[in-house]
Amino acid sequence: MVTSQIPVITIDGPTASGKGTVAHRVADKLGFHYLDSGALYRLTALSALRRGTDLNDEHALAKLAEHLQCSFQGGDIILSQENVTDAIRAEEVGNTASKIATFPTVRHALVGLQLGFRKAPGVVADGRDMGSVIFPHAVLKVFLTASVAARADRRYKQLIGKGISAIMEDLLMDLQARDDRDTHRAIAPLVPAEGAHVLDTSNMTADQAVEQVLQWYAAVGKPH
C-alpha cells in the first residue's frame, strides 16, 4: 500500500485528557499501529535527565531525540531495550518534556521518527500536534479535551494507583502551567487541527469516547 493511502487517525489534546487511553483502544479495535508522540518527548527528557544534559542546550537535546532507540510493544514503552513505561510518567520527566518540546530543533528531530509509524493497515497517533502538523491530511482528526479539574482527578488516581504520591493542588497548578506553555509556544501550539472533531470527555468514560471516535471513523471511511 502506498504510504499516502494508509489511513491515519489523529487524537490530540492537553495533558491527562485521556487521549492516550482512547487512542490505544481505538488502535486495538481497528488493528492499527499506535503512536504515542508524547512518549517520544518524554523519552528524550528521560534520556537528558539521566545523562545530565543541559536542559537549555537545544542542539544537544535535539541530538538525543534524533537517535532515540525506542518502540511500543503492547502497552509497554521500550528505550534501548529497557522497559521505561513507568519511568517516563514521573512528574519531573513530564515537566521536562513539556519544556523541551518548545525547542524547534527538538521537534524537527522527532518528525521523521513520528512519520515512520505510518504503516499498513493504519495508525492512530496521539499527541498535541498530530493533526495540525505531523499528519495534516489524516482521514480523521480528533481533539480530546476535559476540564482541568477532571484531568487533575484522573492524573491523581493514575499516580496513586501506581503507588506514586501526589497532591491534588500541585497537580492542578502543574496542569494549568503545562496548558499555558503548550498553547502559547511559538511552534506547533496546542490547538484543534483544522477540521478536527472536538470531544469533551469531562463526563465521559473511556469506552464512550472510544465508541464516538470509532463512529466518526466509520462515517468518513478509508481514504481512496
Domain ranges of the chain: 7-214
Distance between CA 57 and CA 100 in Å, rounded? Answer: 9
Alpha helix stretches (DSSP H) within 147-205: 148-161, 168-184
Q: Which three cell numbers stand for residue 189?
A: 501550539
Question: CA-to-CA distance for 51 and 53, rounded, in angstroms?
Answer: 5
Q: pLDDT for 117-162, tens place per residue?
A: 999 999 999 998 999 999 999 999 999 999 999 999 988 998 888 8
Angle at 191 between CA 139 and CA 29, to 5 degrees: 40
Which of 29-38, 47-56, 183-192 is the least confident region? 183-192
The segment with the largest mean pLDDT, out of 49-63, 69-83, 98-112, is 49-63
Q: Look up the CATH architecture of domain 7-214.
A: 3-Layer(aba) Sandwich (3.40)
- The Cα 95–Cα 62 span in angstroms is 17
Q: What is the mean pLDDT of the chain?
A: 91
pLDDT band of residue 1 (cuts 50, 70, 90) is low
In angstroms, the CA 190 to CA 180 distance is 9
Q: What is the pTM of this model?
A: 0.85
Beta bridge partners of 145: 200
For residue 61, give the nearest of 77, 72, 50 by alpha carbon: 50
Q: Each residue of 168-193: pLDDT tens digit?
A: 999 999 899 888 888 887 777 788 99
CA–CA gap between residue 193 and residue 131 (Å, rounded): 5
Residue 219: is its pLDDT beyond 70? yes
| Rg (the chain; Cα; Å) | 17
Residues 78-89, mean pLDDT to the nearest whole number = 93
